[in-house]
Amino acid sequence: MSSDDKVVSYYKYEPSHVLPAVFAGVVFLSLVAHIWQNFRYRFWRVTFWAFWGGLLFTVGWILRCISSYHPGNMNLYIAQAVFIYLAPPVYSAAAYNIVGRLMNYLPMHAVFHPDRVLIVFVYAGAAVEGITVAGAAKYAAAGDDAAQYKSGGVLIAVGLILQAAVECLVIAVVAMIHTRAAKAGTLPRNVKTLCMSLYGTSTFVLLRCIFRAVESFEMFGNIGCEENCGPILSNEWYLFAFELGPMLIFTFWLNLLHPGRFLPRNKKRYLGTDGRTERMGPGWSDRRDPWETFLDPLDFQGKIKGQVSHDQYWLRPDEWSICEDGSFAEGTASNVRSTQTRREKVLRPGEV
């Protein structure tokens, strides 16, 4: 006997056939735009996660469309739930990468080692993804098993709390960079635009986390329920409005204000203290051992001693060549290959 014969539907409502297909198409449009923009601006290392998140989200909504025609098929139900749950944390990793690259661009305002931003946030995001996938799989496959249903919900709730905490930390880091740059008079339009974008995208991820948290609380109060299980669990439009909606805004926001338009692809290129001139520096260098930078990312030891542990190379501008292809701060530079000058091509071996 097939799973379709055993269970009439794993959904607590009549799932839409059309809307998941439409939304899969909309997400796919953003995905195609991300692919094109990553090639155009040669920004794959920074915004790869926007592509990967878009791919997962597209697959998730395609699977949901198929699942809506086979609501009693457990494998399809689990698959669509896992992919839809998994995509938002992956999308968020793109924002974490942007924060790290922004700190490379403004090293004098970096909160801590820019490369540690990538490691800390991305690995924290990976933990969120793992917990979320495990929870979504257990929750979707629970059936009449109340214990598994509850344990899956707990894992999802933990993943949501962790993601919300990470997003709050991202907002705090961006706010510190933004404030420092404003006080120092080094807040050109490209930096301001990126800060506003990061505030906005993180806010929408938080909105999605809040929705999922409320859903989890409702789920815990209706374990074993098959109908009339509360407004969120019993109505599909909540999923569209508060899961899909924020992430659609997130991904199209990055399409509209792609960071490849505002930041150099070479992380050694930084903005000078005058807020206009860009130079090709040596990149962030910390004199401590790598393990020390992990244990003390904010360099409290150096601050106590009155001597920071990283090289403040931006205080020696005469040692570093001025980028002659323009300035992202003034809107005269570009990552597009066809607009590169001969000078930038000479510097290419040092690019990352």
Confidence (pLDDT) at 2: 44
Ramachandran area for residue 275 (φ above 0: left; ψ -120 to 50: alpha; else beta): left
Average pLDDT over residues 76-99: 90
Model confidence pLDDT, tens digit, residues 27-50: 999 999 999 999 999 999 999 999
Q: Provide the whole-model pTM.
A: 0.83
pLDDT at residue 346 greater than cutoff 50: no
3-class DSSP state for residue 226?
coil
Domain residue spans in the chain?
3-261, 269-350
Integer Cα distance of 42 and 103 in angstroms: 19
Residue 229's H or E segment, with its range, is: none
Model confidence pLDDT, tens digit, residues 145-202: 667 766 776 777 777 788 788 889 889 999 999 999 999 988 999 999 999 999 999 9
Contact criterion met (CB below 8 Å) for 88 and 53? yes
pLDDT at residue 287 greater than cutoff 80: no
Of residues 256, 250, 261, the one with CA closest to residue 27: 250
Q: What is the CA radius of gyration of the chain?
A: 23
Confidence (pLDDT) at 291: 64
Encode 248-314 in three state secondary structure: HHHHHHHHHCCHHHCCCCCCCEEECCCCCCEEECCCCCECCCHHHHHHCCCCHHHHHHCCCCECCHH
Q: Which one is predicted more confidently, 223 or 23? A: 23
Confidence (pLDDT) at 227: 64
Long-range (24+ apart) CB contacts under 8 A made by 156-162 are 156/85, 156/131, 156/132, 156/212, 156/216, 157/213, 157/216, 158/131, 159/89, 159/128, 159/129, 159/131, 159/132, 159/135, 160/132, 160/209, 160/212, 160/213, 160/216, 161/213, 162/124, 162/127, 162/128, 162/131
Q: Where are the alpha helices (DSSP H) in the chain?
A: 3-6, 18-41, 44-69, 74-105, 114-141, 146-184, 189-220, 231-234, 237-239, 245-256, 290-295, 300-305, 342-346
Neighbours of 237 (CB within 10 A): 12
CATH number of 3-261: 1.20.1070
Token digits of residue 348: 């290419």
Confidence (pLDDT) at 212: 80
Which of 18-22, 86-90, 137-141 comes out lowest in average pLDDT?
Answer: 137-141
Contact criterion met (CB below 8 Å) for 257 and 249? no
pLDDT at residue 345 greater than cutoff 50: no
Integer Cα distance of 249 and 188 in angstroms: 25
Confidence (pLDDT) at 118: 66
Model confidence pLDDT, tens digit, residues 318-330: 999 999 999 999 9
Percent of the chain scoring above 70 in pLDDT = 77
pLDDT at residue 256 greater than cutoff 80: yes
Integer Cα distance of 225 and 143 in angstroms: 10
